[in-house]
Structure 1
Amino acid sequence: MTTTVRRTGALAGAALGVAGLVVLSLFVGVYDIADQGFGGEMFLISRVPRTLALVLAGCAMAVSGLIMQLLTQNRFVEPSTTGTSEWAALGLLVTVLVAPAAPLAVRMIAASVAAFVGTMVFLGILRRVSLRSSLVVPLIGIMLGSVVSAFTTYLAVSTNALQMLGTWFMGSFTSIVRGRYEVLWVVAIVVVLVFLSADRLTVAGLGRDIATSVGVDHARVLLVGTGLVAVATGVTTVVVGFLPFLGLVVPNVVSMWRGDNARSNLPWVCLGGVAIVVVCDIVGRVIRMPFEVPVSMVLGVVGAVVFLALLLRMRARD
């Protein structure tokens, strides 16, 4: 009982801390919301939607990383190291070129479908490759993502859409305003579905043989998990852009601290994803005010450091 109370108290304390960061984000920016003219209106039009987008995107991408690590049994994978994000960008670009007037929902669906196809291609390659090291998995994903990204860039250059593509890759919340972020609520549904299927995802992460022996349809769980990751990645790419290493950093830090139980780790992964994205966004807004540094740049630096730390930790164990 004492242990349960202690864990509940720790989670509540962490939630309060993250809530404090979210509130702080509402009051950080160039525009003075205390202005008597349009301060309140700007607060509702810009600050609130941006903060909600930070919460939803951070939670979704952190959970996506956890799902992919469970399904591949590898701690070094997440949407930006498996090519999933690059496939989503390709689907988005093709949709814009084929149907320039397509609404945001259509672009979201196209990006999600492309992300799903790309993730299945990645998993199919893994089945046919002899893996002698856990580092081979992210290397395959990074190479696959680079090939897809190169083709996407070529297509953008050929169609004079390179500037638009650069905006997608930027990963910034600058353009988030009321009327543009609402589609991100779809990823909240994804997170709820992950909570409901957490036990099956955990069992599936133990391998096909073990999952089958306890009555879990491994193939079905794999498809469902991949679909959830694809939707989260596609929607986030359409609205925000790339958020690199977020799905790598948060699940690894949580699992090193609490073990590998997906259900008990999910609240911590969600809180960790939100906290990192909000902190990186605040740093990006403050460091060169009145200009902004994209969140993806700050996340890239943090993620690279953590990735190297994980590699050195694994080498020390060996």
Structure 2
Amino acid sequence: MIVESENHSQLEKGGRSLKRYLLPFFFLLLVITSLFIGVQSIPINEVFHLNETQKLVLWSTRVPRTVSLVIAGATASVCGLIMQHLTQNKFVSPTTAGTMDSARFGILIAMIFFPNSSSMIRSLVAFVFAFIGTVIFVQLINRLPQRSNVMVPLIGMMFGNIIGSIVSFFAYQLEIIQNMSSWLQGNFSTITRNGYELIYLSVPLLIIASFYAYQFTLAGMGKDIATSVGLNYHVIQTFGLIIVALASSVLLVTVGNLPFLGIVIPNLVSLYAGDQMQTTLWPTALCGSLFLIVCDILSRTIIPPYEVPVSLIVGIIGSLSFIILLVRGTKTHG
């Protein structure tokens, strides 16, 4: 009996170890797949014997594109995770809290008053507006008499739609609506070397967020509990919103909008790993990268040699998942 118990314990440890390495294995497999899928054929078995054209495509477009997919997926997912803790609502993310729409407003202002500005200047302007919009959203939900799980994201989407309508109106009047629509659409086909490096700013933001994961978890328990353990609730909340606004602005300027990614991935990870942000932050980042790479591969293979904008694939899968999560959350709290 003792031997059987020991064998069973060893099998459980082996199973946990296998699960631990399964996700990184799939991540590595998808990264390699992303590098070798596209109109220009780059055989993986001839990677060390490529011609000049194949080398140019690999290092100028495929590698930057894959790196951008990894960083963008991780950043969008972690931003959603932070916002869900700070607002104590599982259905809040930058796309359902008016953050992205406020950043679009900032980009509109930058295009009007600084038409020849760099991506860095546009990101800074977008960050200011994204932060202001997010703070307004938080103040709105704090004044709700009953903060139901469904009502909060609906108010956020209504708030975002109002801002988006204002942006569309002025963009139409100034005849830049087509330019803004194409530029802000989530699309990685235009990512090239020397044109995407701004997205690297998201990496230190993710690292900073990991250092404050415990504080964000405490803030997610409510103001009273956070204050009782000595946490400055308003400072941590403001700090978290700054991280989300800055990262969202960088993503919007670099790769465009990725709807529902920040909602679906944190919720799916929390179903298996719990709500402790210290243990879920990096798995959430990894799963976000995996999900976005899969969507990008689909966008390149559905109607070859043409590409579907990855935001369309993310939006379809994400919206369906969001509806399922909403129904499930409503039943759980009903």
Bin for the TM-score computed over the shorter chain? over 0.9
**What is the root-mean-square deviation of aligned Cα atoms in Å?**
1.6
Aligned to 2:6: none
CA drift at 1:7: 5.0
User: Does 1:28 find its partner at 2:28?
Assistant: no
Aligned to 1:66: 81
Q: How do 1:153-192 residues align onto structure 2 when only pairs under 5 Å count?
A: 153-192=168-207
Q: Distance in 2 between matches of 1:223 and 1:186?
A: 19
Corresponding residue to 2:270 among 255, 258, 269? 255
Q: How do 1:118-137 residues align onto structure 2 when only pairs under 5 Å count?
A: 118-137=133-152
1:118-154 CA-partner distances (Å, limit 9, x unpaired): 1001001111221252111001100000000000001
CA drift at 1:159: 1.1
- Unaligned stretches of 5+ residues in structure 1: none
| TM-score in terms of structure 2 length | 0.92
CA drift at 1:314: 2.2
User: Does 1:211 find its partner at 2:226?
Assistant: yes
Which range is displaced more, 180-189 or 124-133? 124-133
Distance 1:4 1:228, change over 3 A: farther
- Unaligned stretches of 5+ residues in structure 2: 1-8, 44-49
Would you say the 8 A contact 2:88–2:220 is kept in 1? yes
1:228-257 CA-partner distances (Å, limit 9, x unpaired): 000110000001110000000000001111
| TM-score in terms of structure 1 length | 0.96
Q: How do 1:167-316 residues align onto structure 2 when only pairs under 5 Å count?
A: 167-316=182-331
CA drift at 1:33: 3.2
Q: Distance in 2 between matches of 1:255 and 1:103?
A: 38
Q: Distance in 2 between matches of 1:222 and 1:243?
A: 24
Q: Distance in 2 between matches of 1:185 and 1:192?
A: 12
Sequence identity of aligned pairs in percent?
37
Aligned to 2:46: none
Would you say the 8 A contact 2:149–2:329 is kept in 1? no
Would you say the 8 A contact 2:150–2:330 is kept in 1? no
Aligned to 2:25: 16
Would you say the 8 A contact 1:245–1:303 is kept in 2? yes
Larger of the two Rg values belongs to structure? 2
Which amino acid in structure 2 is aligned with residue 310 of structure 1?
A: L
Would you say the 8 A contact 2:30–2:294 is kept in 1? yes
Would you say the 8 A contact 1:131–1:137 is kept in 2? no
Q: For 1:290, what is the secondary structure of its paired residue?
A: coil
Aligned to 2:98: 83
Would you say the 8 A contact 2:141–2:147 is kept in 1? no
CA drift at 1:5: 7.6
What number of residue pairs does the alignment pair up? 318
1:173-214 CA-partner distances (Å, limit 9, x unpaired): 111000111110100111101100000000000000000000
CA drift at 1:10: 2.6
Distance 1:63 1:132, change over 3 A: closer
- Deviation beyond 4 Å, 4+ runs, structure 1: 1-9
CA drift at 1:39: 0.7
Q: Distance in 2 between matches of 1:37 and 1:22?
A: 22
Would you say the 8 A contact 1:84–1:116 is kept in 2? yes
